Amino acid sequence: MKNIALLLTLAVFAAGCANQDVKEQSKAAVEQRDLLESQRKSDEEAKRAQIAREQEELNRQLEDQKQRQAQDTAEVKPLAQPNVAERPLGDLRSQLKDPASPLSKRSIFYDYDRFDVKNDYRGLVEAHAKLMLDNKELKMRVEGNCDERGSTEYNLSLGQRRADGVKRALMVLGVPANRIEAVSYGEEKPKATGQDDDSYGENRRSDIIYPGYE
């Protein structure tokens, strides 16, 4: 132990000597670092503000939708009722399997550490919203997933955010919240078991599931 302490003291002494020469340089480095730090801070603030804006926008859309729905249901209810009874879901199973049907696509994929539903999936979400609106007794489950990297618990929360994001998009399209269950499996249910970017990409997803029809 003593030897190590002595060596350390010597090392510190040597470092101290070198310090004199590099003081000017390190001052510049500190300024550079401060600059980067403030840049990073403002980046973070911008991202935070954007998240807040997105949230606000979603809430506003949701509120509009609710109001419209309240008006709609009052007016169209008598017409909608018989429709529901006459639409059996017998062919849903085959539609979900048929590659030609838009309903056969039930996974939404994400970028690393992101939970926003990309524009590419607008058609997919709309197709499922329509199915839900046309079949008022149908229930849906959205399962959020993550790739295996990082924290089990952070990934569970991220997966929930992904699933909730899909649920919110469906709600904006008029599907009532009580017919969609959004859950997260975090990193616990990977679809691909490889340790490469393709596999990770496949695991960062939300799956739409119709219990009883899969």
Does residue number 182 form part of the binding site for another protein (CB under 8 A)? yes
Q: What are phi and psi of 98, to 5 degrees?
A: -70, 115
Q: Considering CB under 8 A, how many residues would be counted as binding another protein?
A: 32
Does residue number 151 form part of the binding site for another protein (CB under 8 A)? yes
Q: Which of 10, 52, 76, 84: binder of another protein (CB under 8 A)?
A: 52
Q: Which of 27, 47, 66, 93: binder of another protein (CB under 8 A)?
A: 47
The residues in 153-172 that bind another protein, with binding defined as CB under 8 A, are 153-154, 156-161, 164
Does residue number 60 form part of the binding site for another protein (CB under 8 A)? no
Q: Which of 104, 123, 152, 176: binder of another protein (CB under 8 A)?
A: 152
Decide if 150 contacts 123 (C-beta within 8 A): no
The residues in 72-131 that bind another protein, with binding defined as CB under 8 A, are 113
Does residue number 203 form part of the binding site for another protein (CB under 8 A)? no
* Residue whose CB is less far from another protein, 43 or 98: 43
| Minimum CB–partner distance for residue 153 and another protein (Å) | 5
Over the range 121-138, which residues count as b (16 or more CB within 10 Å of their CB) and which as e? beebbebbbebbbebeeb
| Minimum CB–partner distance for residue 204 and another protein (Å) | 15
Q: Which of 14, 19, 29, 44: binder of another protein (CB under 8 A)?
A: 44
Q: Which of 134, 189, 191, 192: binder of another protein (CB under 8 A)?
A: 189
* Residue whose CB is less far from another protein, 14 or 52: 52
What secondary structure does DSSP assign to the chain, as a single string? Answer: -HHHHHHHHHHHHHHHHHHHHHHHHHHHHHHHHHHHHHHHHHHHHHHHHHHHHHHHHHHHHHHHHHHHHHHHHHHHHHHHHHHHHH---TTHHHHHH-TTSGGG--EEE--TT-----GGGHHHHHHHHHHHHH-TT--EEEEEE--SSS-HHHHHHHHHHHHHHHHHHHHHTT--GGGEEEEEEETSS-S---SSHHHHHHHSEEEEE-TT--
| Minimum CB–partner distance for residue 96 and another protein (Å) | 19
Tell me which residues touch another protein (CB under 8 A): 1, 43-44, 47-48, 51-52, 55, 113, 148-154, 156-161, 164, 181-186, 188-189, 195
